[in-house]
Amino acid sequence: MTELDLPDLLGRFRHAGRVDWIGIRPARLAPLTALTEAQAVAGLGLEGDHYAAAAAAGRRQVGRRKRQVTLIQAEHLAALGALLGEPPIAPARLRRNLVVGGLNLLALKDRRFRIGDAVLEMTGLAHPCSRMEQELGPGGYNAMRGHGGITAAVVVSGCFALGAAVEPLDSD
């Protein structure tokens, strides 16, 4: 077998991931509403989410890329529960839009990826906020560090549903 260089290694994925959970927040501090499908809107975020609504209404700059959609790995729900001495954490408690299983989200750095008909691009890490301490109890903030997931921007609008494949696209 020939040795692969770093760019080749970064472009190799065993398989696509999948959407295990979808949630939106209709208002800034509101609880998340679980959905079976969602519409991603380019430059805004997920339809019905407070972030997309604020951008569409002009309260937030349209196309602001940092945090249109937040994603967390399904595998981290059990890790967070273990760190807190609890069972796996329910997705709605973590205030992320999507739970993705079967794919290391950090491997999407500097990449675009397809979910259903939508194309997103990783924009950074989703660091925990002080609300994690309130939601998860003492130590919740620190438990989330390194397990908070990623942020993404919607590059191409499209629909997706639970079970949709999360497929990294070529980095070209």
Residue in the structure block whose two tokens are 């979808």: 22
Q: What is the pLDDT of residues 64-118, one digit of tens each?
A: 567 899 999 999 999 999 999 999 999 999 999 999 999 999 999 889 999 999 9
120 has a pLDDT exceeding 90: yes
Q: Which long-range contacts (CB under 8 A, 24 or more apart) does 51-60 make?
A: 51/25, 53/26
pLDDT at 28: 82
pLDDT at 55: 66
Q: What is the pLDDT of residues 8-65, one digit of tens each?
A: 766 666 778 999 999 999 888 888 999 999 999 999 999 999 878 766 666 655 555 6
CATH class of 16-168: mainly beta
The encoded tokens of residue 97 equal 């839009």
How far is CA 63 from its chain centroid?
A: 17
Q: On the CB side of 122, how many CA atoms lie within 13 Å of its CA?
A: 21
Annotated domain spans of the chain: 16-168
